[in-house]
Structure 1
C-alpha cells in the first residue's frame, strides 16, 4: 500500500541534508532486515529481481553509461553494510563504472527459452551485503533487435517506490545519452543516509510516541499468529523456500471493482483488501486476524526521489466480528486503512516490541499473511528506438511470508501498453512451498477473483455466503 500523507507537525524534526557522523546507522527497516538475515544465513527472500524486455535498436554503451550515472547520483546503490561498535552501519563508497556484461544467446536452439533459463539461474545466486555491488545488471541478447536486461538488487537498498524512481531515471538518462545530451535530472537534494539519520532523531519525538500509542491500542487483543490451514505441518525453523503464481484479473472484472470503489468512496486497495479478508475468513474460519502490508513510508516530499529501503510493514487488523455484509466490511477496512496511513512511520519492530507477543520459533507476529499494493507512481517507460516491458517480482524460489499477494493495478500506476492491458490488475501470489501446494494457492486465486466479481455486482451480500466456497454451498 503506497498511500501517502504529508505530516510536518511541530513535534517532528526537519528533514534535510547536513553534517554526518563518522558512523551512519541503518534505517529501522534495514535494521530489522539485517537481524533477520543474520538469523537466517543464505536467505534469498529479500533479494529483488526484475527484467526489462527491450525490443528495437539498443545502444549498449549508452545503457551502461545511464546505469553508471544512476549509481553516481544515488549513494544507496554504492552502499555496503557491516557491524560496528554501535551496531550495524552503512558504508558509502565512491562512484564506480557499471559493468554490463552482454551474453549473446542468438546461437541457442531457442534464444528466448535460453534467456529464461539464464534468468532463472542468475536469480538464485546470493547477493552479499558486505561488499559491492548490491545491485547488478546483466544483458542477454536473443535476437538482432531483442534484449533482456536483468536487474538484481538486495532489499537492503530497495523498495518498490524506489525501483520505480530508478526506472524513470534510467529511461531519462538513456534517452539523453543516445541523443548526445547532458543529464536532464537535477542533483538529489538528500541521500538515503540523511534519511536514516533523520529517522533516528524522529524516533525520539513526541510524534513517534503518539504513533506507538495508536498501534498498541489498535492491536491490543489481536491474535499475533494466523493459523491458516496448511497442506503440511509447520516446522520450528523456516527455510523461506517458495514459489509464485501470477494471475491477471481481466479488464472487465477490474473495471467493475474500480466502479464499486468509486460508488462506495473508498480506494481500490480497500476493496481488494476487504475481499482478501473474506477469502482468508472462509479459508481459516477466523474472524479476527491481521494481514501485513508494506507502506511507502514517504510522507515527506523530500523522500519522493530517494532510492533505498524506506518501506515499513504495518499490521492491518481484520475484524469481521459483528459485520454482516461486504458493504459493512468495506467501511471497517476503510477506517483501518486510513489509520495505518496516518500512523505509518513507526517502525514495525517497535510495534512488536511494545506489544511483546509470545515468541514462537518460525513464526512472524501479525505479519504471516500479507497483501501488498504496488501503485506507486511510474511515468511512461520509454526509451528511444525501443519498446520496453518491465516484469517485477521474478521468482528466485523463496518466500518472505506464509502467503503474500501483490496487486499491481497498471492503470493506477500508469504502467502498461494501453487498452485492456492497462486496465487489468496483475496479482502475484507468493507462498511458502513447504506449507502449501501449488494447487491450493491456485484454487485460492480462483476463489479470490470470483469473490471480487460477486461483491462488485452486489456489495450487500452476506459475508457468510461469500466466505463459503461454491462447491460447499
Structure 2
C-alpha cells in the first residue's frame, strides 16, 4: 500500500492556517488519561491500539503544503509503539505519574510526520496503570475521542480473551467525508445556510468585551489554564427538570445561564457566544474518526430585562436555528459578514460554551475498572474563555444514573494573559449560584440576580 493524498476538511483547513500563523502553539493538541485499575494485559492493549490505527486512516495521516494548498497524506498502517514507564519504585507513584504526564504533554506534535496520535503507559502498581493519550486537533474532535474509547475497549476485550473482534467493518474514512464536504459547499444547501447566518448575525457586535485583569496586547501568546469545577447532582437535576418543564434541552438551560453571566461581566446586551457543534448529521459519520466539529456563533439577546424563563425561549430559538445550519464552515460565515479586524482578537469566537454530550457508553474492559479524564491542560488556551460542559449521564444515555454520575463537569479554559485564576474561580462559582437561583424560580428577571463579583 502506498501513500495517497486527501483534501482537508474545512475545520482542518482553518486550524492549518492558525498553526502556520503561530507555529509552535500547543492550544490545538489534545490530551487525556485513562486510569486502569485491575489486571492489565499490556500486550493486548498494544494490539488493540495497532488495530485502531489500521482501522482508521485519519490516525495515520500527516499534513503538508502543496502548490494547490494544504493537503493530508494518508500512510499505510504502521506498528504502534506503546512505551511503558514503570513507576512502581517511586516514593509517590501518583506524583511520578503526574510528572511524567506533564513532561510528555510539554512536547510538540509535528503535523508533517507520524505519529499525530501517540500513547504512553504508566505502571503505578501491579494493578494500577494510566494510559496517556495525545493527539493533534487536526485529527481529533470530542465525538471522535469517544468513538476511539469505545472501540479500544472492544478491541482490548477481544485480544485479552482470544475472541474475534466484535467491531463491524471499518466506517467510511475521513477522506471520504472531506471529499463530500468539498462538493457540498458548491450546492444549494450551503447557499441556504449562508443566507441564514448572514441574516441572523447582521449587525451583531463582533467582539464580547469582558472586563479583564490585564489589558490586551496585539499579539496573543495562547497561554492558559483549564481548571475543572463540578455542578453537583442536585443542581444538575434541577437544571434537567427546568429544561423538561420549558421543553428545551439541558444545553439551552446551561447556555442561557452562561449568557446571564457574560451580560453581567461585560455589560453588553447583544453579543455572540461561539460553540462547537458535532456537524455529524449524516449517519455514516457517526463511527468515523476525524475533525468534523464546526464552530457556530450563537447570538445572545439579553436586552429588556427578561425573566430567565423568557430568556430560555430566546436561547432555544437560537440553538435550534444553529443546529439546523451547523454544517456551513465558520470561516465562510465570518468572510461573508466581514467584521472589522483587530490585531490579537478573534471576531465572533473569543468566548465559547460547548456541550460534550457525544455518546460514550460505560467504559468497560475485562478485569479492569476504567476512568477516562479528557481535556488535560497543557498550559495553553484557544480563546479568551472556553467553557466545556461534560454531562456524563447524558453521554452514557443514563440520566437517572447514580448521583455521582449525574453531576456536570465544567472545564474553564482561559487566557492567563487576560485573567487571574481567582477571577475564573469566582466566575465559576457565580455561574453555579446563578443556576441555583434561576432553577429555583425561572420567573426571576435578570436584574434581580446576584451581581457578578468576578468582574470587579
TM-score class, shorter = over 0.9
C-alpha contact (below 8 Å) 1:282/1:467 kept by paired residues? no
Q: RMSD of the alignment, in Å?
A: 1.5
Distance 1:115 1:415 in 2: 32
Q: Deviations over 1:24-82 (max 9, x none)?
A: 21000000000000011101000000000000000000000000000000000000000
Distance 1:28 1:378 in 2: 26
1:276 aligns with 2:286: no
Structure 1 range deviating more: 268-277 or 185-194: 185-194
C-alpha contact (below 8 Å) 2:4/2:74 kept by paired residues? no
Q: Deviations over 1:178-210 (max 9, x none)?
A: 110121111224100010111000000000000
In the TM superposition, 1:65-464 aligns within 5 A as: 65-414=47-396, 419-464=402-447
Q: Deviations over 1:210-264 (max 9, x none)?
A: 0000000111000111111100000000010000110011111111111101111
**4+ long deviations beyond 4 Å:** 415-418
Unaligned runs of 5+ in 1: 1-20
Distance 2:140 2:452 in 1: 38
C-alpha contact (below 8 Å) 1:225/1:365 kept by paired residues? yes
Unaligned runs of 5+ in 2: none
Distance 1:323 1:26 in 2: 44
Alignment length (residue pairs): 452
- Displacement, 1:323? 4.6
TM-score w.r.t. the length of structure 2 is 0.97
Distance 1:45 1:167 in 2: 22
Q: Which structure's relative contact order is higher, taking Cα pairs within 8 Å and 6+ residues apart?
A: 1
Distance 1:390 1:246 in 2: 14
- Displacement, 1:312? 0.2
1:45 aligned to which of 11, 14, 27: 27
C-alpha contact (below 8 Å) 1:323/1:329 kept by paired residues? no
Residues 336 and 181 (structure 1), Cα distance of their counterparts in 2 relative to 1, 3 Å cut: same
Aligned to 2:448: 465
C-alpha contact (below 8 Å) 2:5/2:74 kept by paired residues? no
Aligned to 1:15: none
Distance 1:388 1:124 in 2: 25
SS at match of 1:413: helix
SS at match of 1:50: strand
Distance 2:341 2:263 in 1: 24
TM-score w.r.t. the length of structure 1 is 0.94
C-alpha contact (below 8 Å) 2:426/2:454 kept by paired residues? no
Aligned to 1:31: 13
C-alpha contact (below 8 Å) 2:184/2:190 kept by paired residues? yes
Distance 2:288 2:179 in 1: 14
